[in-house]
Structure 1
Amino acid sequence: MAKILFNLGRWSYLHRWRVIVAWLLLLAGTAGAGFALAKPFTSEFSISGTPSIAALESLQENFPGAGDVSTAPSVNLVFAAPEGERLDSPENMAAMDRAVGYIRDNLEGITSTERFGNPVKVNEEITRTIVEQMTRMGMPEESAKQDAYNVRMVSDDARIAYTVFNFGADSALTVPQADRDVVSEAMQLARDAGLTVEAGGPGFGDPLEIKTTSELIGLGVALLVLMITFGSLVAASMPVVTAVIGVGIGALLIVVATRFTELNEITPVLAVMIGLAVGIDYALFILSRFRQERARLSGPDAAGMATGTAGSSVVFAGLTVFTALVALSLAGIEFLTWMGLSAAVTVAISVLIALTLIPALLGAWGERSFGAKIPGVAGNPGPGKRPGKDLAVASLGRRWVGLVKRFPAVAMAVVVLGLGALSIPVLSLQMALPADTTSNLDTTQRKSADLLAEGFGPGINGQFLVVVDAHGVNPDAEILRPYVDAIPDEVGGQAQKAALASFLYTVGEAKSVIGVRHAQLVAVNDDLTAAQIAATPTAGPEEEFTLDVAHGLRETGQRVEDATGVAIGLTGLTAVQMDITEELAGAMPLYLGIVVGLAIVLLIVVFRSLAVPLVAGLGFLLSVGAAFGVTIAVFQMGFLGLVNTAAPIISFMPIFLIGVTFGLAMDYQVFLVTRMREHYLRARGNGPGAELRAVEESTVEGFAQGARVVTAAAIIMIAVFVAFVDQPLPFIQIFGFALGVAVLFDAFFIRMTLVPASMFILGRAAWWMPRWLDRLLPEVDVEGTALEAEFERRAGADKEPADA
C-alpha cells in the first residue's frame, strides 16, 4: 500500500492543477445537486420494529386518521393565575378568552379541538360528557366521576389550567414559524392581563438553530495551532483549506441524501464536527512528514514519501474511524445508522483529500510551501536573527518522554487511578431523548411542563396510550363474564359486549399496575373493535421509575391477552422514546465488544505485537469511561453548576461517543506508535542486548518525533469539538463537550503517557508475538519501511555510476 500511495502523492504533486480543479469541480457539483435535491431534515428519533411502533400501527389501522401520536403537532397551552387568585375569576376568564379567541381567529387548520378553548369552560363540558357516556355503558357513577376528575383541565385550586390543540401541519416537524408566532402573540395577550402563560408539546418545539460561529471558532484555533506547529502562514493554511473543502463536499452529499431518505437534523452537524477535526489532523500529519522528507528529497519525491509513510497511517487511521462509524448500523437503529454512515462518508472524503489535495497544494506552492515564516516559532530564527531552537534535539516532547522513562510505574498508576476515578459517575448514567421535561429551565417548553406537573402531578407529562384490538376477543372468556353481564343490551350483540367488557377489564388491570396513578377509557372506534386507554404514571417521563411502569403495563397487557384473546400495545411519545433508549442501551455492549475487538485484531496485524494492541484497547476503555464520567457529572448531575439545567444524557450520545472516540483514539495510537516501530525495526539487531535498547530508544525517538504533531492534532480536535458547546441545542452541546474531553484524556493521558510508560515497563515483551501467529498474519507495512528501503536502494543505484 505504501508504494501505491507514494505514486499517488508524487503524481498529485506533479499534476497539481488537475487535482485542485477536480476537487473544486466536485465541490461545485455537490453544491448544485444539494440545492436542487434538498428536502427538509427531521427531528424524529423513531425506530421501526419496536413494540411502541407496532402499537402505533395498530392505532392507525383501527382509528383511521388518528395519525402518529408520537409526532403529532400538538400544543399544550398552560395558564397560571397569580398566587392567591383563581382562574375562574371574571378578570382571568376574560384574559383566557382573549388568548384562545386570538388563536381561533388567526390560526387556520387547527385540529383535535375537542379539548381546545377556555380550559375552565371546556373542563365543565368534558366532565359532564364523560360521566354521561360511562354511566350509559354500565359504569358506576362514582367511577365515572373519578375518570372525569383524572382528565380534568383545571387544578384543584383553580390556579393552573391548560388547553390542547394540534396545528394544521402534517407533523410537529413541519409546523411553520408563523403558526408558532400566532400562539406566542396570544400568550402575550394573557400575560399582559397578569396571567402566566407557557406553551409546550411536540408542535411548539423550538426550530433547529445552528450557529456558524462554532465552525469559525474551531477553524480559528486550528489555524493558530498550525501556525505555531509549522511557523509558516502558508503551511498553516493548507490543512484548513483542505478540511473545509472535504467537509463541504461531505455535508452537501448529506443534503443530497435527504432526497432519497429521511435524515435527522443533527446528522450534518455531527458529520461537520467530526469531518473538520479529522480533516485537519490528517492533512497535518502528511504535511509534517513532507517537511521532514523535503530536507533530503526533491519536492515530488518528498510528497510521495510523505504520502507513502504518513499517508499509510492516515489510511489505516481513517479506516478505523470509518469502521467504527459504519459499525453503528449494528445497533439496528435507523437514525443512528444514517448518522454513522454520513459521518463515515465525510471521514472517507477527508482521507482522500489529505492524500491528493495536500500534495497538489504543495506542488502549487513549490518552494514557498513553508513561506511567510513566523519569527521565533517552530525553529525559525527569532527577532534580530537569533538562532532558532533545534526541535529534533530540544523539545517538550523529548523532555516529557524522558520523565516518563524515569518513572514509568508512577506515570501508569497516576493515569489508571485518575481516569478510573473520573469514570465512577458512569454508574449513575441515565438516558432519555429530548422532551419538554428535560429542556432548559428558561424555555417556555420546560416552564409549561413544570406548571403541568405542579397542577396535575408529574405523570401528566408522560402519559401512556394503551391500544386494545378486540377483533379476536373470546366471547366465552370467563374473566369477562361479570363485565358482560353488567353491560346494557342496547350496546349490541354478544361480540360487541365482549369487546367492551375487554376494554373495561383492561382498564381495571392497568389501574392495578404499581406506579399508575390512573387509567381510563378515552376512545372506542365505531364498531367497538378497538379502544384507547390513557394510563397516567405517578412520575415524569425522565424518571427511571416510569420505565418500570411501562414494563409493568406491558406485562399486564400480556396477561390480559392470554385471558381474553385481545391484542394490546403500549405507545405514545413517552413509550416510543423509552423503547429507543432501551434499544440503544442494549446495543452498547455488543457494539463496544465488536469495535474494540476488531481494532485490536487490526493493530496486531499492523504492529506485529500482542501487548501494544492490548494496551491500546484497555487505554481506550479508560479514556472513554472518564469522558463519560465527566460528561455525566456536568450535564446529568449538575457538577459545579456549569450547566443551568441538569438532565439525563441524550440516549444516543453514549454509543456514538464510543464509536467516534474509539476511531480518533486509534488515530493517535497509529501515528505515535508507527514512529516508534520505525526506529525499533532499524535498531533491534545491532549487537548483544540491542533489542532491549532498541525498545527504549525507539520509544524515546519515536515519541519525540511524533509528539509535537500529535499534540497539535489533539489540540485542534479538542478546539473543534469544544467550539460546538456554544450551540443552542443541548444535545449538540453535550456532544461537543464529551468528544472534546474524550480526546483530551485519550491523547494526553493514554497515548502520550500510558503508552510510552507501558513500553518501558514491558521492554522486549512490547513487540513480542508468537512465530506461528506472525506467519499466519498478512504483512501490512503501515510505517512505509519497505518503501524507504527500496527508495534508498534505488537512490544508491542511481548514484553508483557517478561515483565510478
Structure 2
Amino acid sequence: MSTLLYSLGRWAYNRPWRVLVSWVLLLALAGGGAALFMKGTDNSFSIPGTEAQEGILLLERTFPQASGTSAQLIVVAADGDQVDEEPYVDAIEDTVAAYEDLDGVIAVTSPFSEVVDGLVSDDDSAAIIQLQFDGQSTAVSDETKDELNALADDLGASLPGGSQVALGGDLFSSSVPALSLIEAVGVLIALFVLIVTFRSFAVAWFPLVSALIGVGLGIALIYVSTAFASVSSTTPMLAIMLGLAVGIDYALFIVARHQDQVRAGVDPEESAARATGTAGSAVVFAGVTVLIALIGLGFAGIPFLTTMGIAAAVTVAIAVLVAISLTPALLGFAKGRVAGWGYRMLSAGVGPRRGAASPEKKRADAKKEAAKAEKAAAKAAAAQRPNRWVMLVTRHPLVTTIAVIVGLGVVAIPAASLSLALPNAGVQPTSSQARQAYDLTAEHFGAGYNGPLIMTGTIVTSTDPLGLMDDLAAEVEKIPGVKEVALSTPNETADTGLIQIIPETAPDDPATADLVRELRAHHDEWLDEYGVDLKVTGFTAVGIDISDRLGAALLPFGIFVVGLSLVLLMIVFRSIWVPIKAAAGYLLSVLAAFGVVAAVFEWGWGADLLHVTRTGPVISFMPIILMGVLFGLAMDYEVFLVSRMREDYVHTSRARGGRADRATAIGAVRSGFTASARVVTAAAIIMFAVFAAFVPEGDSSIKPIALGLAVGIAVDAFVVRMTLVPAVMTLLGEKAWWMPRWLDRVLPHFDIEGEAVERELKLSDWPEDAASTPVVADGLTVLADAGSGGEVPLFTGARFRMEHGGTLLALGDPRAARALLLTVAGRIEPSAGRLRVAGHLLPGRGAWVRAHVGVALLEGAEDPAGELTRALAGGTRIVVIDGIDTLDDAERDQAAAVLRDASGPRRDRRGVERPLTVLASARREGAALAFFADAHRDGVSELVLRRDPVRTPTTASAQTDSKGVEA
C-alpha cells in the first residue's frame, strides 16, 4: 500500500491540473446527474418482518382506507365558545367537504361523525378532523400538502378571533433537515485551526478544498441514488457531517507530514510522495475502519439504516480517495511554498530536476533525499523537547488512569436513563404548525391522541362481525394504559376488523411502548377465545418496533466493532495490550457521549442553551450510528498517535541492537506523543467544531447525533487518547508491544508507517544495472510454519541474478524450489533478504509482480500446455514453471512448443521489446534440460538447493554461465 501511494503522490504532485480538473469534472457530472434524476428523500420508516409492518400490509390488502398515512386538523374555539356550535360547525363541515375533493385523500372523518368517538374534546373546546391518504407519506404530493395548508388557513380566517387552527399528524411528523449559516461556523473554525496549525493561509485551504470536493461528490451521488433507492432525509446531513470531518482531517494528516519534511530540508516533490506513502497509508487504514463500522449498521436489519450507513460509507470512501490524490496535487501547486511563517526551508528549490534526470540519477537523488530526510527527522526528534502534558501524565500514570476511568464513569451515569423513539412532531420547533397541532391535541384531548394504535386481524370466519368487534373493543378497553377505543369496525366485505386505540400517553413515551407489548401479550388469549389473529400496527407501533430492533442490535453491533478494533489494531501494532486498551477507551468514550446526550435531551441540562425544543426520548438510531461513527474516528486517533510511538520504539530498539527495556518504551511514548500531538489536537478540534455546529440550529433528528459525536470526539481525543493512552502505555512499558509469535505469523501485515517506502528508497540503487536485470536476489530467505509454534526455513541465503532472456533451473529440495519460484512471482512474501523483479522490489511491489509474472504449475495439470499458455498470456516477459520433469513425452513436446514460440523478443506490457526470462524447478536435471533443449533455450543456469547435513536450512548455490546467473 505505502509504495503504491508513494508513486501516486509523486504522480499527482507533478500533474496538479490534471488531478484537480478530473475531480471537478466528476463533481460536475455527479451534480448534473443529481439535478436530472433526483426524486427526493423518503422519511417513511419500515422494518420488514415485524408485526407492525405485517399489519400495515394486511390493511393495504383488505382495508386500504386505513392503511395509508394520516393527518389531522385541530380546531380550538375562542375562549367562551364551543366548537359544536355555530359558526364552528358549518365552517368545519365545509372544510371536511373541501378536503374530500383533494387528490390522494381517500377518507375524511368529521369530528361530528357518529361512527368515530372522541373527536370532540370533553369540554367542547376543540375538535379534530381526521384525514386518511392513499399510500405512505412519500406518496402525498407537495401540491396536495399545499392545498391542505391553504384550506386550513381559510378555515382559520373564517372563524372568530381567538380561535386556533393547526394541521398536523403522521404526514407532518417528520421534518426535512436543512443547512443553516450556523453549520458554516464549524467550517470557519476549521479554517482558523488549519491556519494556526500550518502557519500559512495558502496551505490551510488545501484540506478544506479537498474535503468540500469530496463532500460535494458524495452528496451528489446520494441524491442520484434516490432515483432507484429509498433514502431518508437524515442521510445527506449525516454524510455532510462525516464527509467534512474526515475529509479535512485526512488531508490534514498528509499536509502536516509534508510540511514537517519540507521544513526539515526534504525536496518538496520527494516529500509529497513520502507523505502520501506514509501518512496516506494511515489515512487509508483509518478510512477502512470507518467504512467497516458504517457498513456494519446493517447489523440492525433495518433497510433505511443500512442505506444510511452505505451512503455515509461512500462519502467517507470518496474523502479517502480525494485526500490521497488531490492533496498531493494541491501541494504540487504550492511547490516549495509550504513551510509557513517563521520557517526557512533548508533545501528550498534545491531538489533534483526529475523531468530531465536519467533513471539512475533519479534513484541516486531519491536515495540522497531519503538519507537526508532520515537524518533530519532524527535530528528534529532529538532536538524536540517532550510535551509538558505527556510528561505530567507519564510521571503519574496510575493516578491518571484511575482519574480518567472514574471521571468518565460519572459522566456516563445519565446513559442508564436513555430512551429511544422515532422523531415526531413533538420535537419540532414551536414555530412549526405540526408542533402546534401536536401541543394543542395533547392539551385538549390528551397526549395519546397524537399517536393512536391500530389493531387489525382477519374475521372472515365470524358470523357476527359487528358483535365480534364490539367484544374485542371491550377486551381492549380493559388493558391498563388504554384511554379509549375510538373506532372498532369491520371493513366493507366484513373479512377484516380494525380497532383504533387511543393510549393515555404520548407516542414517544416508554409507557406507550409497554402498552404495545401488553396488547401483543394477549394475542394467544384472544386468538383462542375469538379466533382472530390480531396484530398491533400503525405509525406509532412501527416506531416502537424500530426502537426495539435497534435496541436489540446494540449489543451484537458493539461486539462487532470492539472485536473488529481488536483485530485491526493487532494487525497494525503487532501487540495484544494496545488493542485491548484502545477498545476499552472506545467504550469509555461511547458511554460518556451517551451520558451527555441523556443529560441534555432527557434530564434537560443545558437544553435551552442548545435550543432543544422538547426533552424526552432521542431518535432511535442515534446510539448505533454514534457507536459506528465514533469507532472509526477513535481508531483514527489511536492509529495516528500510537503508530508514532511504535515507530520511535522500533527505531530506538534497532539502534540498540534489538534491545528494548522499560526506559526505551516510556521514552517512545513521550517522543511519539510529542511528535503527533499537534496534528491530532488540530484534527480533534476540527471534528468537534464541525459536529458541534450542527447542534444549535440542527434538525431534531440530527441534533442528538451531532451532540453525541461532538462530545465523543472531544472525550476520545483529549481524555482517552491523549491522557489515558500514554498513562496506560507507561504502566505497560515494553510489554505494551508484546504479541505471541504464533499470532504474529497468522495475522496479515498492514504497513501504515511507510516501512516499504523507506526500504525502497534505501535500495533505490540496488542493483546498479537494474534496467538489464529482470530478476536479482541477495540473501533471499523464506520461512514456513512448522505447525507447532515455530518456523522452519525452506531456503536461506539465495543469491542470484539474471539477464533478459536467461533461463534458471532450480534443483534439489522440491518444496524449497517451488517456494523459490513462487517468491519470485510475488505469490509468497520473502522472510528476509532482497529481491527485485522487473525493477520492482518485493514484497512492497508484490501486487505489480503478481500481475506481470506468469506462473505455470505443470505437475498434475490436466493440460500442461494450456497451463503454460495461460501463464504466458498478456505479454508477460517473465514466467516461472514448476514440475517440467513430471510430463510425459507428448506433454513435454506440446509444452516445449508453447515455450519455444514465446521465447523470441516481444513487446512487454509497457511496449519495450524483451526476450522471455524463465525460472523453472525440477527434481530430475536430465529431464529438465531435455525440455529446455526442445524449447530451443540454451545456456541454462542451475541453482542447486542442497540440504546441509550440519545446518538445518536448505542453502542455495549455483553455477554461473554466459547468461549472468550467479549465486
Structure 1 residues 469 and 74, CA, compared in 2 at 3 Å: closer, same or farther?
A: same
Q: What amino acid is the match of 2:246?
A: V
Q: TM-score, normalised by structure 2?
A: 0.71
Who is 2:577 aligned against?
A: 611
**TM-aligned CA distance change 1:644 to 1:461, over 3 Å:** closer
Counterpart of 1:304, as a letter, is A
Tell me if the contact between 1:190 and 1:196 (Cα under 8 Å) persists in the aligned partners: no
Match runs of 1:547-558 below 5 Å: 547-558=513-524
Could you tell me how far 1:393 is from its partner in structure 2? 8.2
- Report what 1:384 is aligned to: none
1:366-387 deviation per Cα after TM superposition (whole angstroms, max 9, x unaligned): 12345xx4569999xxxxxxxx
Is the 1:153–1:161 Cα contact (8 Å) retained in structure 2? yes
**Which residues in structure 2 correspond to 1:306-705 (within 5 Å)?**
306-370=275-339, 373-374=340-341, 398-441=387-430, 443-471=432-460, 473=461, 496-497=463-464, 499-500=465-466, 502-519=468-485, 521-642=487-608, 643-685=612-654, 686=656, 690-705=660-675
Q: Does 1:273 align with 2:241?
A: yes
**1:115 — aligned with what?**
109
Q: CA deviation at 1:533?
A: 1.1
Aligned equivalent of 2:76: 79
| Partners of 1:333 and 1:222 in 2: CA distance | 34
Counterpart residue number, 2:225? 257
Tell me which amino acid in the other structure corresponds to 1:707: A
- Give the 3-state SS of the residue equivalent to 1:367 in structure 2: coil
- 1:587-635 residue CA offsets vs partner (Å, 9 max, x unmatched): 1111111111011111011101111111100001001100110011111
Cα distance between partner residues in 2 of 1:184 and 1:653: 35
SS at match of 1:350: helix
1: CA distance, partners of 2:107 / 2:408: 55
Alignment match, 2:57: 57
Shift of 1:171: 3.0
1:565–1:104 distance in 2 versus 1, CA, 3 Å = closer
In structure 2, relative to structure 1, the CA distance for the partners of 1:166 and 1:466 (3 Å cut) is closer
User: Within 2, Cα distance between the matches of 1:110 and 1:362?
Assistant: 56
SS in structure 2 of the partner of residue 74 of structure 1: strand
Deviation of 1:793 after TM superposition, in Å, equals 4.3
Check whether the contact 2:576–2:738 (CA below 8 A) recurs between aligned residues. Answer: yes
Q: Aligned-pair distance for 1:102? A: 6.0
Aligned equivalents of 2:613 and 2:2: distance in 1?
51
Paired with 1:378 and 1:535, the residues of 2 have a C-alpha distance of 76
Is contact 2:293-2:629 (8 Å) kept? yes
TM-score (norm 1): 0.85
String of CA shifts for 1:468-523, please: whole Å, max 9, x gaps: 2023x4xxxxxxxxxxxxxxxxxxxxx533x5554344333322322223336533
Change (3 A) 1:397 1:345: farther
User: What displacement does 1:463 show?
Assistant: 1.7
The one-letter code of the counterpart of 2:186 is G
Whole-angstrom distance in 2 between the partners of 1:187 and 1:691: 83
One-letter amino acid of the structure 1 residue matched with residue 621 of structure 2: F
The equivalences for 1:288-299 within 5 A come to: 288-294=256-262, 295-299=264-268
Choose which of 131, 134, 157 in structure 1 pairs with 2:123. Answer: 157
Q: Deviations over 1:740-784 (max 9, x none)?
A: 111000000011000011011111111111122222222222112
> Once structures 1 and 2 are overlaid, which stretch shifts more, 345-354 or 640-649?
640-649
The offset of 1:363, in angstroms, is 1.3
1:46 aligned counterpart, secondary structure: coil
Q: State the one-letter code of the partner of 2:388.
A: R
| Higher strand proportion | 2
Give the structure 2 partner of residue 482 of structure 1: none
Q: Rg bigger for which structure?
A: 2
Offset of residue 352 of structure 1: 0.7
Cα distance in 1 between the residues matched to 2:222 and 2:708: 24
Secondary structure, counterpart of 1:794 in structure 2: coil
Partner SS state of residue 87, structure 2: helix
- Does the alignment pair 1:285 with 2:253? yes
Q: Which residue in 1 is equivalent to 2:67?
A: 68
Distance 1:607 1:297 in 2: 28
How far residue 532 of structure 1 moved from its aligned partner, in angstroms, is 0.6
1:783 aligns with 2:783: no
User: What is the number of residues matched between the two proteins?
Assistant: 728
Change (3 A) 1:770 1:204: closer
- The CA distance in 1 between the partners of 2:160 and 2:474, in whole Å, is 45
Matches of 1:392 and 1:80 in 2, distance apart? Answer: 77
User: How far does residue 659 in structure 1 lie from its aligned partner after superposition?
Assistant: 0.4
- Larger RCO of the pair (alpha carbons < 8 Å, separation 6+): 1
Shift of 1:2: 1.4
After the TM superposition, which residues 216-235 of structure 1 pair with which residues of structure 2 at under 5 Å, given as runs? 216-235=184-203
Deviations 1:656-696 (A, max 9, x none): 01100111000000011111111010112517974322211
Q: Which residue of 2 aligns with 1:45?
A: 45
Q: Distance in 2 between matches of 1:206 and 1:47?
A: 17
Q: Distance in 1 between matches of 2:468 and 2:219?
A: 52
**2:141 is the alignment partner of 1:174:** yes
Offset at 1:547? 1.2
What does 1:688-767 correspond to in 2, within 5 Å?
690-767=660-737
The Cα offsets for residues 183-241 of structure 1, whole Å up to 9 and x where unpaired, read as 45235415762213333212345752512424422221111111000011111010100
C-alpha distance in structure 2 between counterparts of 1:728 and 1:713, whole Å: 22
Provide, for residues 63-118 of structure 1, a one-character-per-residue CA deviation record: whole Å limited to 9, x for no partner. Answer: 2x32634xx14223231432x543345xxx325644664675598447355423xx
Query: Structure 2: any 5+ residue segments left out of the alignment?
Result: 347-378, 769-967
8 Å CA contact 1:397–1:708 kept in 2: the answer is: no
CA distance in 1, matches of 2:248, 2:40: 29
**How far, CA to CA, are the matches of 1:520 and 1:96 in structure 2?**
21
Does the CA-based 8 Å contact 1:441-1:645 persist in structure 2? no
Per the alignment, residue 195 of structure 1 pairs with 163
1:301–1:22 Cα change, 3 Å: same
The one-letter code sitting in structure 1 at the alignment partner of 2:595 is: G
Partner of 1:18: 18
Structure ranking higher in helix proportion: 1
- Counterpart check, 1:34 vs 2:2: no
What SS does the aligned partner of 1:245 have? helix
**Take 1:2 and 1:599, find their aligned partners in 2: how far apart are those partners?**
21
Q: Distance in 2 between matches of 1:730 and 1:376?
A: 47
Separation in 1, partners of 2:267, 2:159 = 75
Conserved 8 A contact 2:174-2:424: no
- Residue 728 of structure 1 deviates from its aligned partner by 4.6
Question: Deviations 1:144-191 (Å, cap 9, x if unpaired)?
Answer: xxxx6xx22222222222222347897365343532541452354157
Counterparts of 2:440 and 2:658, CA distance in 1: 79
Does the 8 Å CA contact 1:581/1:651 hold for their aligned counterparts?
yes
State the one-letter code of the partner of 1:782: I
Closer, same or farther: CA 167–465 of 1 in aligned 2, 3 Å: closer
| Partner amino acid, structure 1, of 2:6 | F
- Partner of residue 87, structure 2: 94
Partner Cα separation in structure 1 for residue 317 and residue 407 of structure 2: 35
Other structure's SS at 2:485 match: strand
1:271-320 deviation digits (Å, cap 9, x = unpaired):
01100100000000001111122334323321121111111110110000
Whether 1:794 aligns to 2:764 is yes
